[in-house]
Chains A and B, each alone.
Chain A
Amino acid sequence: DQQVKQNSPSLSVQEGRISILNCDYTNSMFDYFLWYKKYPAEGPTFLISISSIKDKNEDGRFTVFLNKSAKHLSLHIVPSQPGDSAVYFCAVGGGKLIFGQGTELSVKP
């Protein structure tokens, strides 16, 4: 049973617009929520995180929102750039991370 779900396997966005990636989880006991970005033939790269005591964390063009009551996490990228095209994974937990299955983002010029 998947504890972390990314229901959109792919997303296509125009350059300069906002990209919104979504993630749902089942266990309300998770403490930390993270987003990773992965290019082909490379390992995942950490992007941004948020703890369960916050509902928003921002780092440059990347903002993560946490809705604990809905058990929902989202990543906003604005403005989107072609170099953002990659697979994005959400991960939840603490010492042990549980990953979603990823959303492939394509940013078109």
Chain B
Amino acid sequence: DTAVSQTPKYLVTQMGNDKSIKCEQNLGHDTMYWYKQDSKKFLKIMFSYNNKELIINETVPNRFSPKSPDKAHLNLHINSLELGDSAVYFCASKGTGGIEQYFGPGTRLTVT
């Protein structure tokens, strides 16, 4: 069984479009994250939710809006896509009291 899953795995779209990436975890974790891995391979945290509440919001453009309908899901909606949004986006989750985060397989977003 997949612990942290993301859909889609690949997403190619044009500038100006709006797109969503979905994430689900079946680990029973309370905290979920979105990371962006840019062309230089840095993994940078974007958002974190704990029990559906936003707890970390890095300096991310407000075109990016995370939504957590329940603690097992954290979706990422991106408005007005720009070329610089092209990256691999990873979802992750962590249990209460745990340190390690468990990552999904990533979504490669290409904006043309």
Contact = CB atoms under 8 A, between A and B. Distances in A.
A43 interface: yes
Given A41-B105, A43-B90, A44-B43, A34 B56 contact: no
B68 interface: no
Contacts, number: 46
A2 to B, nearest CB: 8
A87 B103 CA distance: 15
A44 B103 contact: yes
A76 to B, nearest CB: 19
A101 B48 contact: no
Q: Which interface residue of A45, A87, A94, A97 has the most chain B CB atoms within 10 A? A: A97
B48 A96 contact: yes
18 contacts: A34-B99, A36-B103, A41-B105, A41-B106, A43-B90, A43-B92, A43-B105, A44-B90, A46-B101, A49-B100, A51-B99, A94-B99, A95-B48, A95-B94, A96-B48, A96-B56, A97-B45, A99-B44
Interface of B: 4, 31, 40-45, 48, 55-56, 90, 92, 94, 99-106
Given A41-B105, A42-B106, A44-B43, 15 more contacts: A32-B99, A34-B100, A45-B103, A51-B99, A95-B31, A95-B56, A96-B48, A96-B56, A97-B101, A98-B45, A99-B42, A99-B43, A101-B40, A101-B42, A102-B41
